[in-house]
Structure 1
Amino acid sequence: MTVRFFHTSDWHLGQFFYNHSRQYEHEQFLAWLLTQIQEKQPHALLIAGDVFDVINPASSAQKQLYQFLADAHSLAPQMQTLMIAGNHDSGYRIEQVEPLLEKYNAKTVGVIHKNADGHIDLDRLLVPIYDEQNSITAWCLTLPFLRPAEITGLNEQTANSQNVIAYIHQQLIAEAKQRKQDGQALILMSHAHMQGGETSDSERPTIIGNEEALSTALFDDVIDYVALGHLHKPQKVGQTHIRYSGSPIPLSFSEINYKHQVLDISIDPAQPEESRFQCEALPIPRSVQLHKIKGELNDVFAQLNALPQGEIAVIDHREYVDIEYHTAIPPQPNLRQQFEDALPKGRYRLVRISRQYLTSEKNAEDAAQVSLEPPTPEKLFQQIWEKQGYAEDDAVLKDFLSLVQEAEKSLEHEQDS
């Protein structure tokens, strides 16, 4: 039996991009996805976490999700929609609407639950996927984002979160092996940061220095496909069948060149291992463009003037512009207005301006002379002050030093008491 499903994640419904709503962009994505569902009629749609952008999403974002589920169910009544909570979601909140989700053949797993005997409730985590004849064609092992505070105590042998996560995987995979019958596939859906995954600057940090990134060794060879969420770039991790689908829209300017997509997966366990898995990337059209403009001021103005013309009437449909200009001198007071004037009218939203100071020859020579002495608060303050482009000001420095003295006295007082 062949199981066919879509893999997507990190929708971040309700996101605001530099105070601009992404509702229109999400509407366009969801309309496109409904067309794909209608055409291809998959057995399941897997949404691997970060459905919403914040733990308490606005009513408009929730309405977007539930309207999509209703529309998808009307277009493909046999399709199951399986969702897990990501680190941006409230697992308890998205589980509260189970009666509503059942009407649309949808299920969500937000947190790990315990049975009365204290063991993991594996029934909630193992979800059967049915084919057109209502026979089980696959099992989906659903693992939401595993917060240390929520999984403490699931394994009495250790309080280490990494060991508990390994224990959860072992228990779930062992139970899946027992339930799996010939011809049925095993799909594991997880929201996690895997070792070797390439990040962007829009993913909320869940670990420090990648020290707690998970290893793909957690996934037993019996698993036919691992549907991952959390990282926004579509990518394989280690093996062809372990993948991040990526986000459907760019969630930061660092994602401009990402090829946003939904993965169309087919698995036939009866086939030889090298041919049982098929993956097609369905490219998502970008409804609003992003432009990153970089360079010295003259070059920036030239790039702004060269942008495509043509007014876009609705503000929420206009393209985003991020400017990073390079300069050796402090900015002019009206620089933002100059940038706005250089942009073609009625088409763009200038959402961010940043500056990068050019290093003069003298500063470069000074930087090359590395001092092994620890910097004083005064020296650090002067370096930051100069980096921001401000001229030397004895009065400001004097005020800063007085604050340092007050802080030192306060520390001495605490140590004495």
Structure 2
Amino acid sequence: MRILHTADLHLGQVIYQNYERRDEHRHFFNQLARWCRTYQPDALLVSGDVFDIQQPSATSKEAFANQFMELHRQCPSMAMVITAGNHDSASRLQTEREVWQLANTHIIGTGPSIVAQEGWEEKFIIRLKAGYVVALPHMIGARREQLQALLNKVAQENDEGKPVVMMGHTAVAGLDATGHDFEIGKLKTQALSEFGEGYDYLALGHIHKPQTIGHQEDCMKEEVSYPAPVVRYSGSALHVSCDEAYPHTVSLVDIDKHQGTVTVKQLRIDELRHFHVLPHEGAYHSAEEAIAGVAQFAKDHATGYFRLRVDYAVALPSNFNQMVYDELLAYGDEIRYNPKIIWEGQAEERTDAMGKPTFEVAELQEMQNPMDFIEKTKDQYEHLDLDMVRKAFEEVEAEIVRMNEEEQATKKAKAERKDKNTSIA
């Protein structure tokens, strides 16, 4: 069985509150189409975060449809399996499931319901001539019994010993979160045992650095073989920040048989715009020096993203960011600025006259999780139990998911009763 594994497309992303990335995504899909034609995989797997936000624009949805339909036209025999991530609206993706099946594409938006119904497993098992794909979207909390039930069902019918691939969008123990905003100690991870037993390859999304769990030393090797099972993050399609200073790849995976050998070949993605931190060594020691560095970078590269590293002792003028943008006017959107400055030379948090932490506007704009702000201001609250607050947020989130699932199950049951009564009448 041969698959191409990618994830975290983040279609529609507007990076640094200012720059659209449609041309970068087109550049990525052109490469993906070429690899599909070249390697003729049995399936293309997209393990979550198809879109960057849960309510993508019409332009983003059109790009999604156009790009994946083009992949289907070029490789009609290749199945495509797309699952929802935490950035996606699970229900919105799910509503298009039936239509996309006409293009040999399987979209899995919502996870298994807490209220199990007969035959529920069929929604998550994709049977291919070469093997099986157990497709699972992002889910809150562990679902080991349900996942094992899916793998057991596959095992019961897999008389020919075909490869078994499972998909997921989550953080697992042992990962390398380099480049992400969260710290590894604050990232809730699942033990691999929660995914059950019986898969040969676990195709994960959510973490942007390409890596094979338990084999971090091999993360940059072009081709490696392992005995099954193998657990791998393909990494994101595009660099999502300047902190992701590592190659991004698509994983070409060959599995010879169930419980056999898994070979992973990394296909290096050519980024349309590269990310840079200026200066490449050290830090700027004045606003004038930083602006001169920006001007030189723009002249030398003519395209790309950059972020500035400035000595902590420098007092930048209030209009510094506008000065940077003014310097870039002649380049349109080709030279793109991340206004979140890296401060060097002092470990302490920046504080005001009262000793309270202060933040750049861009820092506040990029905080998507309330815990990010709470953790940065925790010293102001003497008796605050961070673990308790974090657990409370997780419980609220899980409860919302549970309520939504119960609501969907109730609506479905009512609709089925109505259909049954109508047919009787």
| Partner of residue 413, structure 1 | none
Corresponding residue number in structure 1 for 2:236: 247
* Alignment TM-score, normalising by the size of structure 1: 0.72
Over 3 Å counting, the alpha-carbon distance change for 1:171 and 1:204 in structure 2 is: farther
Q: Between Structure 1 and Structure 2, whose CA radius of gyration is higher?
A: 1
SS at match of 2:45: strand
How far has the Cα of 1:113 moved from its partner?
4.2
Number of residue pairs aligned between Structure 1 and Structure 2: 337
Q: Which of 291, 294, 299 is equivalent to 1:304?
A: 294
**Aligned partner of residue 254 in structure 2, secondary structure:** strand
Aligned to 1:351: 338
In structure 2, the residue matched to 1:175 is: 153
Instruction: Please tell me whether residue 323 in structure 1 is matched to residue 311 in structure 2.
Output: no
Moved >4 Å (runs of 4+): 113-117, 200-205, 337-345, 385-388
Q: Is it true that 1:36 corresponds to 2:38 in the alignment?
A: no
Identity between Structure 1 and Structure 2 (%): 25
For the aligned residue pairs, the C-alpha RMSD in angstroms reads 3.1
Q: 1:74 to 1:323 in 2, by over 3 A?
A: same
Cα pair distance change 1:348/1:358, threshold 3 Å: same
- 1:311–1:189: structure 2 CA closer, same or farther, 3 Å change rule? closer
- 1:208 Cα deviation after fit: 8.2
Cα pair 2:44 2:78 within 8 Å, conserved: yes
Q: Deviations over 1:14-73 (max 9, x none)?
A: 111012111111111011111111122111000000111111111111111111221111
Alpha-carbon contact 1:327-1:357 (below 8 Å) kept: yes
3-state SS, counterpart of residue 57 of structure 1 = coil
Q: CA deviation at 1:143?
A: 1.3
Against the structure 1 CA distance between its residues 196 and 115, is the aligned structure 2 distance closer, same or farther, given a 3 Å change threshold?
Answer: closer
SS at match of 2:63: helix
Counterparts of residues 87-106 of structure 1 (less than 5 Å): 87-106=86-105
- Please give the per-residue CA displacement for 1:63-106, whole angstroms capped at 9, x wherever unaligned: 11111221111111100000111111111111111232122110
Equivalent-residue separation in structure 1 for 2:145 and 2:34 (angstroms)? 40
Conservation of the 8 A alpha-carbon contact between 2:132 and 2:163: yes
| CA distance in structure 1 between the partners assigned to 2:11 and 2:45 by the alignment | 16
Q: Offset of 1:277 from its aligned partner?
A: 1.6
Is 1:145 the counterpart of 2:145? The answer is no
Q: In structure 1, what residue type is equivalent to 2:355? A: Q
| Cα gap change, 1:331 to 1:385, in 2 (>3 Å) | farther
For residues 155-174 of structure 1, the aligned pairs below 5 Å read 161-162=141-142, 165-174=143-152
Give the conservation status (yes or no) of the 8 Å contact 2:121–2:150. yes
CA 1:283–1:301 in 2, change beyond 3 Å: closer, same or farther? same
Distance 1:187 1:386 in 2: 47
What is the correspondence of 1:328-343 to structure 2 with a 5 Å cutoff? 328-336=313-321, 339=324
Q: CA deviation at 1:172?
A: 1.5
Answer whether contact 1:112 1:120 (CA < 8 A) is retained. Answer: no
Residues 71-86 of structure 1 mapped to structure 2, 5 A cutoff: 71-86=70-85
Partner of 2:186: 209
Q: Distance in 2 between matches of 1:69 and 1:355?
A: 38
Query: Runs of 5+ in structure 2 lacking a partner?
Result: 216-225, 361-425
Q: 1:237 aligns with which of 182, 204, 213?
A: 213
SS at match of 2:135: strand
Q: Give the direction of change, closer, same or farther, for the CA distance of 1:311–1:344 in structure 2 (3 Å limit).
A: farther
Instruction: Check 1:356–1:215 CA distance in 2 against 1; reply closer, same or farther (3 A cut).
Output: same
Rounded Cα–Cα distance in structure 2 between residues aligned with 1:101 and 1:31: 21
> What 5-or-longer segments of structure 1 have no aligned partner?
131-136, 148-160, 313-317, 368-378, 389-417
> Quick one: which amino acid aligns to residue 246 of structure 2?
Y
Distance 2:64 2:102 in 1: 14
Bigger mean CA offset, 337-346 vs 89-98: 337-346
